[in-house]
A and B are shown apart, each in its own frame.
Chain A
Amino acid sequence: MNIIYTILVHIVWFLSTYFVIVFMLALFSNRKKLYYSPKFEKDDELPKVSLIVPAYNEEASIADCISSLKRMDYPKNLYEVIIVNDGSKDKTAEIAKKYASDNIVLIDNSGNKGKARSLNHGISLAKGDYIACMDADTIVPKNILRKTLPYFKDKDIGSVTVSVKVRFADNFLQKIVRLEYILGLSLFLKIFSLFNCVHVTPGPFSVYRKSMLDDIGCFDPKNITEDLEIAYRIHKSGHKIANCMSTAVHTITPHDLKGLYRQRRRWYSGALLTLWQHRDILKSNKTGLFGYFIPFNYALIASGLGLFLFSSYLLLSNMLRNLSYYSLTNYNFFSNMTFDFDLLAISMFLFFGLSGIIGTVLLVSYGLGVVRKSPKRRPSLYLGYFLLFFIYQAFWLASFLVVFMRRKVKW
């Protein structure tokens, strides 16, 4: 058992340390170019774009979403907004109708069809050369189209993603998730794009080349993470996914652990199912670095989860054993709580753990330093981020079980 644990520690340490160092080097060497984005020189270069907004019971946020779309600094005759009411039972359709105009239309699905089908319905009616898909609780900045569309001047670009930030961070959990989004759905996506390894076109806002969608097909209605699944097909078709960090959309995140668990269980089990669905990517030469990044990423996740479970088992069994020992000493906790720290009694495992923690702290610190308008680097934030890391291990375990037991995951 000791040998297995030792090997697992080495594997996880090596993969994660290598990953962090690659990231740090990529971030450092490209730190001045992160916020660069191409521009249209003249307005007659501006293409026609269709924005698809699927909505199911979004009465609380649809008005703000549409208002932000109306504020975009893009010629009204060059964009259309197609709101797809997906069988909402609240006042979503009623509110959306108030905003209907020449370039904002509301269409209804006959009943609740799901997000992928709603998007596909909207895309089928779209007239734009580019399709922007977004959530009904997303708030877009006015420059979103002027910032993202110029990327398509490169014919290889099939999709453009943007930074996704949290709109409301009222409690501690949301503040930690906000930090996570700043890193994971902004900075890390940018770094991934430099390697052409962007593995997801986030649902809050992503833009696609219409002709590419015509070739590869639209969203897969059978997949619960359609934004992730389409990214695989984009890479397989030989296209690239770019990331624009100079603009950001704001979205709503779960406000409690239960909501977060539901969200992540869908994300993680969707990711595993998508990996299985597109397992041929591991052998494909067409996808370039993406075909190596995916197995590396999931090997790290799986081994990390294995190590987490193994360590938890050892820790829990030690705690239970020690508790039973205390019962033999009349629960004399205080006599054994003498601080007898001996550096020489520390195992090498601790050094592995410490170096991992230091590496992550450095990456998070440097990342927050590079990202504009990032939150203050408070110790409580780092602590919360680490805590979230352990919570996510439990979410990953649940997702593995869900996939393994072939249970259906809903939104």
Chain B
Amino acid sequence: MVIKKSIFAYAAIITVLLLISIYSLNFYLDSVREDAVVNRMEGILDEYQEIQALSLMTEVFGGNITCLSLSNTLSYMDKNLWETGIKIDKYREATEQFVRDPFYLEQKIKFNRNEIIYLSMLKKMKEQCSINQTVISYFYKKKEDCRDCDAQAFVLSDLNKEIDSEMAMFSFDSDLGLASISTLSLFYNISSFPCIVVEDDAYCGLKNKNQIVDIICSYRNHSICSG
């Protein structure tokens, strides 16, 4: 044989080194992912503090100027929240085949908890500043327990791209075991999943885009209603 046997050993070493490189790259990306999520969450928490400050100012200084600043902050928050939720889910999906990282579950819990705080503040602001904003809350469970939840999330993501600043969309994962989400579910009388709550009224079962638009437009006239 012309081939030296050492070739097989060298090839095995190179292959193992390549495998280690791929895993190392993935671990590096994992840390970058976690930093990206933490930074987004910190950004959201900063905005909450800003909203809380503005809310307090409304009570102390009156609503004329502060309500305008508040509605601008709210419209930025609405988009940011939904996108952050999507990112957390995407990063979780990208990593969970290899490592069931508890980090993303913790972040999801934190995120959902913050959404509830934000939702509560938003309701208060609407009263204080008479803001005409339609609030949509989406309650879901994991795929195994809710066959239509993926489809509903797809429809809402599509809708989210078209909604104007007069609509705010929230998503709540009912599998997280959070008392706040369970309480909210009880408050809205949610009987099955997926379930969309529009202005305190629950609409459970899979809804297509047209149906959701019709529901939203029955409360208020928005830009999507003209289509």
Contact = CB atoms under 8 A, between A and B. Distances in A.
A344 B3 contact: no
Contacts of B208: 327-329
Contacts of B14: 21
A329 B155 contact: yes
Nearest to B99: A348
A380 B89 CA distance: 37
A348 B94 CA distance: 7
Contacts of A2: 96-97
Interface in A371-392: none
A352 interface: yes
A195 B8 CA distance: 11
A330 B210 contact: yes
A338 B159 CA distance: 14
Given A6-B98, A324-B151, A345-B94, A351 B22 contact: yes
Contacts of B45: none
B154 A329 contact: yes
B209 A344 contact: no
B26 interface: yes
Nearest to A30: B2
Contacts of B161: 335-336, 338
A40 interface: no
A349 interface: yes
A332 interface: yes
Contact of B97 (A33, A345, A347, A355): A347
A25 interface: yes
A26 B7 contact: yes
A6 B97 contact: yes
Contact of A14 (B2, B4, B15, B91): B15
Contact of B1 (A289, A321, A335, A346): A289
A348 B22 contact: yes
Given A14-B15, A26-B7, A325-B151, A352 B94 contact: no
Interface in A305-353: 321-322, 324-325, 327-330, 332, 335-336, 338, 342-349, 351-352
Contacts of B200: none
Contacts of B178: none
Interface string A17-39: 11001100110011001000000
A2 B29 CA distance: 21
Interface string A236-267: 00000000000000000000000000000000
A174 interface: no
Given A14-B19, A18-B11, A328 B209 contact: yes
Contact of A347 (B93, B151, B159): B93
Interface residues of B, number: 43
A347 B95 CA distance: 6
Contacts of A345: 87, 90-91, 93-94
A272 interface: no
A194 interface: yes
A85 interface: no
Contacts of A18: 11-12, 15
Given A330-B209, A348-B22, A336 B158 contact: yes
A335 B93 contact: no
B38 interface: no
Given A324-B151, A335-B161, A351 B97 contact: no
Given A325-B155, A344-B33, A355-B18, A194 B2 contact: yes
Nearest to A345: B90
Contact of B154 (A22, A194, A328, A346): A328
Contact of B3 (A21, A194, A322, A349): A194
Given A18-B11, A345-B94, A351 B26 contact: yes
Interface string B132-166: 00000000000000000011001101110110000
Nearest to A193: B2
Contacts of A22: 7-8, 11
A225 interface: no
Nearest to B6: A25
Given A26-B3, A349-B97, A344 B155 contact: no
Nearest to A321: B150
A195 B1 contact: yes
B60 interface: no
B191 to A, nearest CB: 21
A257 B158 CA distance: 41
Nearest to B153: A325
B184 interface: no
B127 to A, nearest CB: 33
B10 interface: yes
Interface in B64-93: 87, 90-91, 93
Interface in B22-37: 22-23, 25-26, 29, 32-33, 36
A196 interface: yes
Contacts of B97: 2, 5-6, 347-349
A342 B23 CA distance: 19
Nearest to A24: B11
Query: What are the nearest 5 A-B pairs in CB distance?
Result: A325-B154, A328-B208, A21-B11, A345-B90, A22-B11
5 contacts: A25-B11, A194-B2, A321-B150, A328-B206, A332-B158
Given A345-B90, A355-B18, 20 more contacts: A5-B97, A17-B18, A18-B11, A21-B10, A21-B11, A22-B8, A29-B4, A194-B1, A289-B1, A325-B154, A329-B208, A329-B209, A336-B158, A342-B87, A344-B33, A345-B91, A346-B29, A347-B93, A348-B23, A348-B94
Interface of B: 1-4, 7-8, 10-12, 14-15, 18-19, 22-23, 25-26, 29, 32-33, 36, 87, 90-91, 93-98, 150-151, 154-155, 157-159, 161-162, 206, 208-210
